Structure 1
């Protein structure tokens, strides 16, 4: 049956991710899966989003195919591969409530990362291999669990102050590779079932529209007020997810 609430949440979540892929909302696309957990189990949300993300990645990679930092990718991708394997290995040992709790914590850390001065203190540091392996691995793991690899990636890359197009291109190629690597594990874990793929097919046009709208709007609107409201809403969402996760894990 048609559920207006389900459709509205799903469309908003995918649009936010699409706008983020275009560079309009920074890392705010990290709330895609947390939003979807309001209407479906966290694991189903992750599985449904993967094909949508790959479709958006294809557009972003094509748009920035000549503008990226190969040096950063060489450092980040090996760590991301290890993080992906760790996420796959641990997937069978965690419950849906634990995944929900983890998503909530990552979402809250995203908000804290946006307001704390960590990035400013790191500005100007050269990209080191150990640091890149760590944050690349963290990004790979969180991306595998809940498609929330944006904050770890940005903690490592943003302090370098790359030109905007180079940053966007590096991000596009990094997450296209990470998301592609998740296809086989997600298949064997049952995340790419008929129900999830049907939802994905319906939402892919929404995601593509979000990317195209973001590309059009990125230099045309002021986002100051939007960010203030959005970050407060994301903060409240993170608290709700953590509370729901704690209730499920500890049987409260």
Structure 2
């Protein structure tokens, strides 16, 4: 490896483990922080290409522990809404410049932090009784789009699922199923858009053990680690990296 490749690998390893922990145990809402962090050291498109195969591997690793513990009607609704969102993301990718994606990923990161802090401060509250079917389709549309352009589909999906009153494990299992299917849908347009390269796939092979380690840790942490501690770290990472990406995109 060259010095630059070693630097990318050094940043990618903790980012990938973090993604595995988030997807394996905490609803995947913060998993996109890994792509945000990687976008600091590689072009945004390359960061997306590195992360998708690893996210798909994490999906497979976490399906078994949560098998059939999900809410299939909610998962189906969000996935059906996500498919046109993925198509919109693919169309935007053809016309956007790398700096546009830095701004978009940075903005999504900060919006996620603001939303979560607002929910915890009770400034925002999911509607009681659950969102409507139409709102669920819209949440799926937004999740599909943000998942395509920044692997950040977790927050809009979570807004809908939280309104459904699912328990912690059912919520986690439903999220695992949803993003397993969405990531499969993203793989084909990613391939046609040239997001995958020999370099990204080689790096994926090196990072795969760390992704699976993170997934295992996430399943364990789902039972042991307080969500407050995990998400406090997540918010700090997303705030710093989101601001940095916005500065880089504007400059």
Q: Work out whether the TM-score is over 0.5.
A: yes
In the TM superposition, what is the alpha-carbon distance from 1:71 to its structure 2 partner? 1.2
User: Which residue, out of 213, 221, 245, partners 1:241?
Assistant: 245
Q: Structure 1: where are the runs of 5+ without partners?
A: 248-252
In the TM superposition, what is the alpha-carbon distance from 1:107 to its structure 2 partner? 0.4
Q: State the distance in 2 between where 1:78 and 1:230 align.
A: 29
Q: State the distance in 2 between where 1:180 and 1:44 align.
A: 18
Query: Superposition pairs for residues 13-32 of structure 1, below 5 Å?
Result: 13-24=15-26, 27-32=29-34
Partner of 2:72: 70
1:76·1:135 contact (CA, 8 Å) conserved in 2?
yes
Q: State the distance in 2 between where 1:180 and 1:148 align.
A: 15
User: Which residue, out of 227, 231, 235, partners 2:235?
Assistant: 231
Using a 3 Å threshold, how does the CA distance of structure 1 residues 84 and 8 change in structure 2: closer, same or farther? same
Partner of 1:156: 160
Using a 3 Å threshold, how does the CA distance of structure 1 residues 48 and 68 change in structure 2: closer, same or farther? same
Partner of 1:114: 116
More deviation in 193-202 or 23-32? 23-32
Does 1:197 find its partner at 2:219?
A: no
Q: State the distance in 2 between where 1:212 and 1:75 align.
A: 28
Partner of 2:172: 168
TM-score (norm 2): 0.92
1:82·1:140 contact (CA, 8 Å) conserved in 2?
yes
Q: Secondary structure, in 3 states, of the residue corresponding to 2:223? A: coil
1:123·1:160 contact (CA, 8 Å) conserved in 2?
no
Q: State the distance in 2 between where 1:55 and 1:133 align.
A: 26
1:119·1:158 contact (CA, 8 Å) conserved in 2?
no
In the TM superposition, what is the alpha-carbon distance from 1:26 to its structure 2 partner? 5.7
Q: State the distance in 1 between where 2:118 and 2:228 align.
A: 18
Partner of 1:56: 58
Q: State the distance in 2 between where 1:225 and 1:177 align.
A: 29
Partner of 1:36: 38
Q: State the distance in 2 between where 1:221 and 1:192 align.
A: 34
Q: State the distance in 1 between where 2:55 and 2:23 align.
A: 9
- Deviation string 1:144-183 (CA, Å, 9 cap, x unpaired) is 1111111111111112220122111110110011000111
Q: State the distance in 1 between where 2:221 and 2:139 align.
A: 30
More deviation in 3-12 or 236-245? 3-12
2:82·2:141 contact (CA, 8 Å) conserved in 1?
yes
In the TM superposition, what is the alpha-carbon distance from 1:129 to its structure 2 partner? 1.4
Q: State the distance in 2 between where 1:211 and 1:119 align.
A: 32
Root-mean-square deviation (Å): 1.9
Q: Structure 2: where are the runs of 5+ without partners?
A: none
Using a 3 Å threshold, how does the CA distance of structure 1 residues 119 and 183 change in structure 2: closer, same or farther? farther
